Chains A and B, each alone.
Chain A
Amino acid sequence: MDPFLLVIWIIRLLFLALLYLFLARVVGSLLRDLRAAAREPGASPGRLVVVESPAGEPEAGRSFDLDAITTLGRDVNNAIVIDDPFASTEHAVLTFRGRSWYVEDLESTNGTFVNGRAVAGVSPLGFGDEVSIGQVRLRLERARST
């Protein structure tokens, strides 16, 4: 076989091989990324970030990992204690059912608000929505996976 043709043929195959080498490297890096994400603890279905809190308890900027049922209010027995003069002792409860979050107002004096609208009974809550309890504003976010 003509050596020149052989060289052409090898370079052709080398180009294809390099495409696959690139793909293999990329897939390797994707797998590392996925494994790192899987190793992370925290199967928490979401977290609540304090956006604004004039009374300072909880602090603004703090974030809480949520359980499937999380109670909020002024009483110390709540999962998230909101020490605000306008919050009731048992103010609201967040529940994770199926694939989404719901917020329920526990007949508080000043009410619970989602994006500025008052909650009547149980109301669905999306990631990125803001819940207001008294003067405290909290935002629901997906738990950080990476």
Chain B
Amino acid sequence: MTAASRRAPANALPRILGPIRPRPRWTEARLLALAAIALVVGSVSLRLGLEGEFGLANAAGLGIYLGALGLAHLAQVLAGRRTDQVLLPVVGLLGGISLLLMQRLPQGLVTLGEGEAALGLGDVQLVWLVLGIAVTTTIAIVVRSDAWLRRYKYTWAAVGIALLLLTFIFGADVAGQRLTLRLGPIGGQPSELLKVILVVFLAGYLSENRPLLIEQDTRLGPLRLPPLPYLAPMVAMWAIALGIVVIQRDLGAALLFFAVFLALTYAATGRLSLVVIGLVLFLAGSALMANLFEHVRDRIDIWLDPFADPLGAGYQIVQSLHAFARGGLLGTGLGNGLPMVGGRLPIPEIHTDFPLAALGEELGLVGVIAILGLYFVVIQRGLRIGASAADDFRAILATGLALIVGVQAFIIAAGNLKVLPLTGVTLPFVSYGGSSLLANAVVVGLLLALSDRGVEPPPPPSSATGWRRRIQRGSA
């Protein structure tokens, strides 16, 4: 009643799921075990720092998280796809560090529910992390064809723009930014999902028009450009980015979208002239925005000299710099940083915008470099998956997904360190927030699905040949 009877449905399924043969994933298992050991040690260190006694800080939470990672690993082993084995442990470690951080910060920052059953910051983050792992695993196992992404690229673009417009019109203003969209009880930040949709659309557009973009038949002074109609999307992107800045006041998302757009255009065409035009447009747009809009000018002034108003506008940045300075080389140790100042946190919005400052204080320069190293690994995997992809669509898609994570991490890390003006994007996989974690879970899931080196060739491009032939055959 075991093996034989179970094989029958497995053989009936292949049409949808493909032949299912478990395949061990030893690299992933070893790396996950190492990440789990590191997180357990981190949890012990956290308890010692907070309460001065041995034991795990919130053992149940850590147990649930590690269990979820283990299940994700098992599910992938059973599914037997030949997908990347490094991404899950790396992202899992980042998520685990996020869990430790959220358990360590004051739990009252975020509460869900009322009274006895109320969930604090750490618990809510745990729920989102586990949901994220579930999303990643499901996409990695189920998505076997990318036809639904490449064929409907204009539909995706329309969905993205609709999301953006809905946020423009119905969005709720939170702290001067119109980012949150509420539909009944469900609220979220569409710009997080929008970034994934943008990459899917760009991959479809660039892979289809790559040959035309490479041709250069328009001359503009020393620059040689592709045919002018093919530059329209570039101008449209620029306009959308400016719209996000003006209406949503979301500098971070605008910067992220435009940077990823330029990088993908360069990756697809190899033409520096397009990047130069993009940068010129970007500088012109920035200058225009800084002159016209106060909130943009404020951000830049704070960036140039936060100490001009250390208790007012520059407060966050100044406190963040102090936190990094307190951390020094090796950090104060988990649980030892961030004394409450007069009953409130020294850095407002630390759980969403400044997790790196908190980690910089408690783990020091050494810890921050390790965390940045983890992001570099994610980027490397994405570019590698792109480089070995069989066709342009998959290559550009994988590159774009990796850059979304990498550029976003760079923008917020640089913002915390006063390298760039501070913008309110999240630190992927680490910041508190459901929209951010789930959108990044989708990114990792897609990267895993794209990395499959199975036997199935990519489907033919979305061209007229398919349906035209079918029609011809039907009429013949």
- Asked if A128 and B333 make an inter-chain contact with CB atoms under 8 angstroms apart, the answer reads no
In the complex, which residues of chain B have a beta carbon less than 8 angstroms from the beta carbon of A25? 30-31, 34
- Asked if A30 and B207 make an inter-chain contact with CB atoms under 8 angstroms apart, the answer reads no
**Contacts A18-B37, A19-B38, A146-B388 known; A12 to B395 CB distance under 8 Å?**
no
Q: For the complex, what is the distance from the CA of A137 to the CA of B457, rounded to whole Å? A: 15
Report the 3 A-B pairs with minimum CB-CB distance, sorted nearest first.
A128-B391, A124-B211, A115-B463
- Asked if A139 and B460 make an inter-chain contact with CB atoms under 8 angstroms apart, the answer reads yes
- Asked if B390 and A142 make an inter-chain contact with CB atoms under 8 angstroms apart, the answer reads yes
In the complex, which residues of chain A have a beta carbon less than 8 angstroms from the beta carbon of B27? 29
In the complex, which residues of chain B have a beta carbon less than 8 angstroms from the beta carbon of A137? 465
In the complex, which residues of chain B have a beta carbon less than 8 angstroms from the beta carbon of A26? 31, 86, 89-90, 377
Which candidate, B40-48, B316-324, B406-414, is the interface stretch facing chain A?
Answer: B40-48
Q: For the complex, what is the distance from the CA of A51 to the CA of B466, rounded to whole Å? A: 12
Beta-carbon nearest neighbor of B362 in chain A: A12
- Asked if A123 and B211 make an inter-chain contact with CB atoms under 8 angstroms apart, the answer reads yes
- Asked if A8 and B48 make an inter-chain contact with CB atoms under 8 angstroms apart, the answer reads yes
- Asked if A128 and B211 make an inter-chain contact with CB atoms under 8 angstroms apart, the answer reads no
A49 close to B (CB within 8 Å):
yes
In the complex, per-residue mask of B29-59: 1 if CB is within 8 Å of any chain A CB, else 0: 0110011011001101100110000000000
In the complex, per-residue mask of A23-50: 1 if CB is within 8 Å of any chain B CB, else 0: 1011101100110010000000000010
Q: For the complex, what is the distance from the CA of A36 to the CA of B366, rounded to whole Å? A: 31
A75 close to B (CB within 8 Å):
no
**Contacts A16-B366, A26-B90 known; A126 to B211 CB distance under 8 Å?**
yes
In the complex, per-residue mask of B372-407: 1 if CB is within 8 Å of any chain A CB, else 0: 011001001100100111111101000000000000
Within 8 A of B (CB), among A71-109: 99-100
Q: State how many residues of chain B have any CB contact under 8 Å with chain A.
A: 59
CB distance from A145 to the nearest CB of B (A): 5
- Asked if A145 and B388 make an inter-chain contact with CB atoms under 8 angstroms apart, the answer reads yes
A11 close to B (CB within 8 Å):
yes
In the complex, which residues of chain B have a beta carbon less than 8 angstroms from the beta carbon of A37? 388
Contact residues of B: prevailing secondary structure: helix
Q: How many A-B residue pairs have CB under 8 A?
A: 140
CB distance from B234 to the nearest CB of A (A): 19
Q: State how many residues of chain A have any CB contact under 8 Å with chain B.
A: 47
B24 close to A (CB within 8 Å):
no
In the complex, which residues of chain A have a beta carbon less than 8 angstroms from the beta carbon of B90? 26
B367 close to A (CB within 8 Å):
yes
* B393 CB contact (under 8 Å) in A116, A128, A130: A128
B210 close to A (CB within 8 Å):
yes
Q: List 12 A-B contacts (CB under 8 A).
A: A7-B48, A8-B48, A18-B42, A22-B93, A25-B31, A25-B34, A26-B86, A26-B89, A30-B381, A116-B468, A128-B390, A144-B388
Q: For the complex, what is the distance from the CA of A77 to the CA of B198, rounded to whole Å? A: 47
Beta-carbon nearest neighbor of B27 in chain A: A29
Within 8 A of A (CB), among B344-385: 363-364, 366-367, 370-371, 373-374, 377, 380-381, 384
B461 close to A (CB within 8 Å):
yes
Q: A residues engaging B (CB < 8 A)?
A: 7-9, 11-16, 18-23, 25-27, 29-30, 33-34, 37, 49, 51, 99-100, 113, 115-117, 123-130, 132, 137, 139, 141-142, 144-146
**Contacts A26-B31, A141-B390 known; A115 to B461 CB distance under 8 Å?**
yes
B464 close to A (CB within 8 Å):
yes
- Asked if B86 and A16 make an inter-chain contact with CB atoms under 8 angstroms apart, the answer reads no
CB distance from B5 to the nearest CB of A (A): 34
In the complex, which residues of chain B have a beta carbon less than 8 angstroms from the beta carbon of A126? 207-208, 210-211, 391-392
Q: For the complex, what is the distance from the CA of A30 to the CA of B31, rounded to whole Å? A: 12
In the complex, which residues of chain B have a beta carbon less than 8 angstroms from the beta carbon of A99? 270
Q: For the complex, what is the distance from the CA of A128 to the CA of B457, rounded to whole Å? A: 11
**Contacts A8-B333, A12-B331, A25-B31 known; A116 to B465 CB distance under 8 Å?**
yes
CB distance from B1 to the nearest CB of A (A): 39
Beta-carbon nearest neighbor of A8 in chain B: B48
- Asked if A127 and B395 make an inter-chain contact with CB atoms under 8 angstroms apart, the answer reads yes
- Asked if A29 and B366 make an inter-chain contact with CB atoms under 8 angstroms apart, the answer reads no
Instruction: Please give 14 more A-B residue pairs, beta carbons under 8 A apart, in addition to A16-B364, A22-B93.
Output: A8-B45, A11-B48, A12-B49, A14-B45, A15-B334, A19-B38, A26-B89, A100-B210, A125-B211, A128-B207, A128-B391, A139-B460, A141-B457, A146-B388
* A15 CB contact (under 8 Å) in B38, B381, B465: B38
B288 close to A (CB within 8 Å):
no
* A12 CB contact (under 8 Å) in B85, B93, B333, B392: B333
**Contacts A21-B34, A23-B370 known; A100 to B211 CB distance under 8 Å?**
yes
- Asked if A128 and B367 make an inter-chain contact with CB atoms under 8 angstroms apart, the answer reads no
Within 8 A of A (CB), among B402-461: 453, 457-458, 460-461
B330 close to A (CB within 8 Å):
yes
